Amino acid sequence: MKKKRTYSKRSLREASQGYSFMAPTIFVLALFIIGPILYAFFLSFHKVQLLGTATYEFVGLSNFTNISDDSRALRALWNTFKYVIIVVPIQTLLALILAATLNAGLKGQSIFRIVYFLPTLTSSAVLTLIFMWMYNQNGLVNEILSIIGLPTYNWMGDPSVALIAIMIMNIWATAPFFMVIYLAALQNIPDSLYEAAELDGANAFKKFIYITVPNLRPVTSFVIIMGLIGTFQLFDQSFIFSGGSGGPDNSTLTVVLLIYQYAFKSLGTMGYAAAIAVMLSIVILGATLLQRKFSKEESLY
């Protein structure tokens, strides 16, 4: 009897310790994550006015139905879609090739690794500014293109190439991050698999296709999820590139930039912005869950 009481006292104490250790986390989760998620749903059904105190007027589903009539929203969706479809496969493939090359056991590996990692360390603001300087009319990129006899472009001013300029920049900036993830996974593939393949007479290319790639499948699916999540959220680069406008001619307008503009740069459209944000989150969540379902690995987290 006595023993049981001390036990329950102990567990009571442990529970109170548990809550005090968790207190800051619970506070932030409630006030800045869970609360806001519910609040976002609320906002998406309302017209929000922010003059002085915020006022809300219930408008039902009209924020959601308005999206399909909004040509800028459709343009932003299309731009984001193009961006995701082009950037994710290229950056994933590039990351895989770089990792496999780095992992081939050549000398100087660690130096290359440090060099490749520079873009990951640098902020998106700085990278965008560096590229804008290179994309200048008579900047480095055009100079190099004209030296090797290729056509030059008005990278930042021509609506038909501005988004491509951002794509190139971001593939360059994010591929090395995913390369490091691949690299860690490559080191976990048992050597015996390669040795067995060598006995069967497989060449380097065959080993890559039949051993490396299949063994990396769970990591690849992780890299693709992360890539999808990242590309759907493109904002900083578009914002800085276009000075916040999404121009020229809406060609660099992304969904998140549009959300930002509607929420903070025009009056009375905050609820509409919240509705687009909710839709975007559902798409991202859906992509994440789908990818998880398809990947054989139960859970990478």
Partner 1 sequence: MKKKLSIGKALLYGILVLYAVITLVPFIWAVSSSFKTLEEIVSGTINFIPRNFTLDNYKQIFLEQELFPRWLLNSLIIGVAGTSLNLLFNSMAGYALARLSFPGRKTLFIIILAVLMIPAQVTMIPNYLILRELGWLNSYQGMIVPAMINATFIFMMRQFFINFPKELEEAAEMDGLSRFGTFFKIVLPLAKPALAAQAIFVFMGFWNDFMRPLIILSDPSMFTLPLGLNTFKGQYISYWNYIMAASMVFTLPVLLLYGFFNRYFIKGISFTGGK
Map the footprint of partner 1 across residues 161-180, applying CB under 8 A. Answer: 172, 176-177, 180
Helix (H, G, I), strand (E, B) or coil at 148: coil
Identity of the residue, 1 or 106, whose beta carbon is nearer to partner 1 in the bound complex: 106
Q: Could you tell me how far CA 89 lies from the centroid of its own chain?
A: 13
Long-range contacts of 186-192 (CB under 8 A, 24+ apart): 186/99, 186/100, 186/103, 186/212, 186/216, 187/103, 189/215, 189/216
Apex 125 CA angle, 123 and 126, nearest 5: 70
User: What is the smallest separation between the CB atom of 58 and partner 1, expressed in angstroms?
Assistant: 17
Q: CA 290 to CA 221: how far, in whole Å?
A: 11
Residue list 201-230, contact with partner 1 (CB under 8 A): 204, 219, 222, 229
Binder of partner 1 out of 4, 32, 148, 201 (CB under 8 A): 32
Residue list 110-129, contact with partner 1 (CB under 8 A): 112, 114-119, 121-127, 129
Identity of the residue, 130 or 202, whose beta carbon is nearer to partner 1 in the bound complex: 130
Binder of partner 1 out of 74, 93, 209, 300 (CB under 8 A): 300
Count of residues engaged in binding partner 1, rule: CB under 8 A: 93
For residue 48, the cross-strand partners are 56
Identity of the residue, 25 or 62, whose beta carbon is nearer to partner 1 in the bound complex: 25
Q: Are 72 and 258 in contact, with CB atoms under 8 Å apart?
A: yes
Beta strands in 31-99 (DSSP E): 46-49, 55-58
Identity of the residue, 24 or 151, whose beta carbon is nearer to partner 1 in the bound complex: 24
Q: CA 205 to CA 67: how far, in whole Å?
A: 48
- Binding of partner 1 by 97 (CB under 8 A): yes
> Which range in 13-21, 58-66, 67-75, 158-166 contacts partner 1 by CB under 8 A?
13-21
Identity of the residue, 26 or 196, whose beta carbon is nearer to partner 1 in the bound complex: 26
